[in-house]
Amino acid sequence: MKRVSLSSAEVIAGNQDLLTEILIRIPAKPLLKFKCVSKQWLSLISDPRFCILHACHHRVLNPTPNALLLNNFYSSTPTFQFVPLMGDDASSHSQVAVFDYLNVSPNYWLKIKNSCNGLILCMSIFYGGGFDDAGSELKGIICNPTTKQFKTLSFPVPKFRDSKTYSSFYGLAFDPLKSQHYKIICLHVDYRGSKNPQVYLYSSLTNSWSFWQNSLEAPTLYGFVNGVFCNDAIHWCSYEQTTLYFDVNTESLKIMPMPPIFSTVNRSREFMYFGESRGRLHMAGIRSHFISGFDVWEMASDYSGWSLLYHVNLRSVKRAFPKKEFDSFTILNVLRAEKEEESKVVISVDSTAMSLNIFGGTLKTLSVLEPGLGFPADLGYEGHDAFQYFQSLVCV
């Protein structure tokens, strides 16, 4: 009997489990091209179960985002600044991300409201209503920039008598390690009337909004900061002594403290950044009227309070880069590393996004930023303009 010899490719093709184990280790963007290899590969890579498995593998392997997406100050075109942080996204010092596949009408501004583990929540606002959310026609778009899949949503209208006096706050919750479904939280707060926020929750599982009653009185949330997802909860910040967070598991609003140094009661520092890295919640700010450096604070896992994580001294950095105007820098992102000495902060200096090593004080240019449309160029980009981007295949 003649022995038949199979090639390695034939062995892999005939073993679905082996093929899956190989493909989940490949980054998301190359896998999009691999769909063309065969019908078998197309079917496997397009399978939502494979997409979640792939997302889980890479989220555990490297919790550092591939890039940052920056709002372009309500640009009249669906274009965002792209700041590469790692991998094949770091191939250019000047990049933009174009979301023209969302088919947004020319009469609407497109703005990113939240990002979470590969998904982006955008809002298209009819510019006839101005820049405020109140009184404008709001449309939500949840999308995956890697695959260019998207879904359009209608945001709930608040049940206030006067619809022109409320503020709205949003959050996106998605953790592929726990579920293939995502949730969107919408808070409407009428500060001129009852301060009890109206809570609406969208679930991709049911494809519908639910209204939740609550008895908490909302503090004055910082309107330009969007909800930050961290450890199964969406958090907002405030200039008061306390702020709100939404527990996704119990689907309830809760109170957490703010660092006293950032509150209006005892405001000794200027708030600049609020975000998440490696499962921990962070805030960062500078000492008012004395910019020699900045502090990074971290919230305890039990919400008992904030502790000073880093103090970053900019004196040595200024001496190394005398042509940079560090007196007008902003903080875009805090990136904790597995090795403490490799932790970084992404800052914007003179229209340039730069990575600053916290312990070594070294700077690396990441991207040259274009001025936002409709605003003076010297305003730059703030921390609330920056959103983490992860390559992902997860379905919308």
Domain 53-389 class?
A: mainly beta
pLDDT of 60 reads 86
| Phi-psi sector, 290: left (phi>0), alpha (psi -120 to 50), beta | beta
Q: Average of pLDDT values for 221-242?
A: 83
How many alpha carbons fall within 13 Å on the CB side of residue 255?
A: 12
Do residues 367 and 81 lie in contact, with contact meaning Cβ atoms separated by under 8 Å? yes
Cα 277 to chain centroid, rounded: 10
Q: Phi, psi (5° rounding) for residue 17?
A: -65, -40
**DSSP readout, 5-68?**
PPPHHHHHHH-HHHHHHHHTTS-HHHHHHHTTS-HHHHHHHH-HHHHHHHHHHHHHH--S-SEE
pLDDT of 54 reads 95
pLDDT at residue 375 is higher than 70: no
Band of the pLDDT at 13, cuts 50, 70, 90? low
Q: Phi, psi (5° rounding) for residue 244?
A: -110, 150
Q: Which of the two residues, 250 and 166, has the higher pLDDT score?
A: 250
Q: Average of pLDDT values for 288-313?
A: 84
How many CB atoms within 10 Å of residue 45?
23
Query: Per mean pLDDT, which range of 109-118, 210-219, 365-374 is the poorest?
Result: 365-374
> Which pTM does this prediction carry?
0.87
Can you give the residue ranges of every domain in the chain? 6-46, 53-389
Calculate the CA dihedral of residues 273, 281, 145, 113 and round it to 10 degrees.
-60
pLDDT of 147 reads 95
Q: Average of pLDDT values for 34-48?
A: 93
Band of the pLDDT at 286, cuts 50, 70, 90? confident
pLDDT of 95 reads 74
pLDDT of 94 reads 54
Q: How many residues does the chain have?
A: 396
What residues form DSSP beta bridges with 386? 70
Band of the pLDDT at 5, cuts 50, 70, 90? very low
| Token pair listed for 160 | 């206030």
Do residues 96 and 370 lie in contact, with contact meaning Cβ atoms separated by under 8 Å? yes
Q: Determine the angle formed by the axes of helices 48-61 and 16-23, rounding to 10 degrees.
A: 40
| Token pair listed for 13 | 């093709």
How many CB atoms within 10 Å of residue 295?
18
Do residues 89 and 28 lie in contact, with contact meaning Cβ atoms separated by under 8 Å? no
Query: Per mean pLDDT, which range of 281-290, 324-333, 337-346, 370-379 is the poorest?
Result: 370-379
Percent of the chain's residues with pLDDT above 70? 78
Q: Which of the two residues, 74 and 259, has the higher pLDDT score?
A: 259
How many angstroms separate the CA atoms of 124 and 390, rounded? Answer: 22
Mean of per-residue pLDDT scores for the chain: 82
Could you give the 3-state DSSP secondary structure of residue 173? Answer: strand
pLDDT of 2 reads 46
pLDDT at residue 390 is higher than 50: yes
Band of the pLDDT at 43, cuts 50, 70, 90? very high
pLDDT at residue 97 is higher than 70: yes
Name the residue type at position 233.
A
pLDDT of 160 reads 67
Q: Average of pLDDT values for 347-358?
A: 87
Q: Determine the angle formed by the axes of helices 39-46 and 16-23, rounding to 10 degrees.
A: 60
Give 59-92 pLDDT, tens digit per residue: 888 889 999 999 876 455 678 889 999 755 544 4
Helices and strands (DSSP H and E) totals, the chain: 6, 24
pLDDT of 202 reads 95
Q: Average of pLDDT values for 323-331?
A: 75
Q: Average of pLDDT values for 334-356?
A: 89
